[in-house]
Amino acid sequence: MPVKITTFFLCMTSLALADEALSKAEAEKFVTESWDKHLVKLRTDRTEEMKNSAIVIGDKTMKLLGKTFGDAPAGGRPLVISMHGGGHAPAQVNDQQWKNQIRLYQPEGSLYVAPRAPTNNWNLWHEEHMDAFFDRLIENCIAINGINPNKVYLMGYSAGGDGAYQLAPRISDRFAAVAMMAGHPNETKPDGLRNLPFALLIGGKDTGVNRNVVGRQWGEMLAKLEKENPGHYKHFYRCYEECGHWMNLKDAEAVPWMLQQTRNVWPKHVTWLQDDVISNRYYWLAVDGKKVKAGQRIDAICKDQSIRITSPEISEITLRLSDQLLDLDKEISVYFNDKEVFKGKVKRESSAITQSLSERADKDSIAYSLLRVAAK
């Protein structure tokens, strides 16, 4: 029987201003209690679909193959999601690619999952429905398999590499690192990789759709971005000059590098570039998805008790605030396109915590307060 998924969108007007302010200790206690109850519900609702090794959303199904390697480290196993190649091909070709993907890599200590793409289209891994499928897979593995939510990794080969290029900047707040093997980025850009370590591995003779040329260009772009933004755009680049599209598993050297990375849940500087698949939440920022378009950009910097937002195209933003970002017991200042739009204290509210949890089963990214600001 299909499993129904409910998508919770951020309501910009329902901030429950009547909530009583919570102390930091009260907010933390409410988070723990709410999270524990939510985990119980997730395990009740989702165990069967994981036993069936298939996630169903609407009219689409994502089948799963999984393996564990070695002993679980302290804090829970990492989750490595590995996307197969294929793409615009008959179903049996993509099935073969999927069954091969589970055999390619052996991430030490991890739960290694190879999903079967829900479609057989050329863009099988970066179609709009994939965000919800990966959200649900990650939530299931947190609740049922006890994986470490700050040690979730995405990787993919060929068409799976296309998906890595596309999904990494689009949903980078979900992952600790991403590895792209032998793919093509199409129209996507690396701006959103500011806080997401990204591995880029290509064959020097992989001339199909200029993968080798475009891969080198991306390596150069990431090197330039890292130089211009010290501490950001961490990356790992390899071009195996003697290899074509198949790199003879030399690309596996990216796996231990990935596993060394830990997710940055509350980064101080966020660059959000909307993909052609629009999203409404990204790290500690949220927008009304009905009012944004592909290509729109937000830069937000938090320093001490001040937040500065720059966006020439978006006029309203909700800040998802937490004591992990700044001290909510103190006054904060918010500047939007260099104009002060808020100065004062914000309340920690149970409604903000509940809303965060309803949007995403991700304890560490729960906001204690939601502050809507508008450009003047």
The predicted structure's pLDDT at residue 20: 84
pLDDT over 50 (residue 13): no
Residues 82-130: pLDDT tens digits? Answer: 999 999 999 999 999 999 999 999 999 999 999 999 999 999 999 999 9
Contact 175, 192 (CB under 8 A): no
Distance CA 37, CA 34 (A): 5
232 — pLDDT class (breaks 50, 70, 90): very high
Mean pLDDT of 127-135: 97
pLDDT over 50 (residue 1): no
Which amino acid is located at 129 in the chain? H
Give the DSSP per-residue string, 145-189: H---TTSEEEEEETHHHHHHHHHHHHSGGG-SEEEEES---TT--
Q: Strands across the sheet with 369-374, in order?
A: 281-282, 285-286, 316-321, 369-374
Return the minimum-mean-pLDDT range out of 6-20, 102-116, 137-151, 171-185. Answer: 6-20
Which amino acid is located at 373 in the chain? V
282 — pLDDT class (breaks 50, 70, 90): very high
pLDDT over 80 (residue 141): yes
19 — pLDDT class (breaks 50, 70, 90): confident
The predicted structure's pLDDT at residue 289: 87
Domains of the chain: 53-259 (3.40.50.1820), 266-374 (no CATH)
Across the chain, mean pLDDT equals 94
Report residue 367: phi and psi, to 5°.
-90, 145
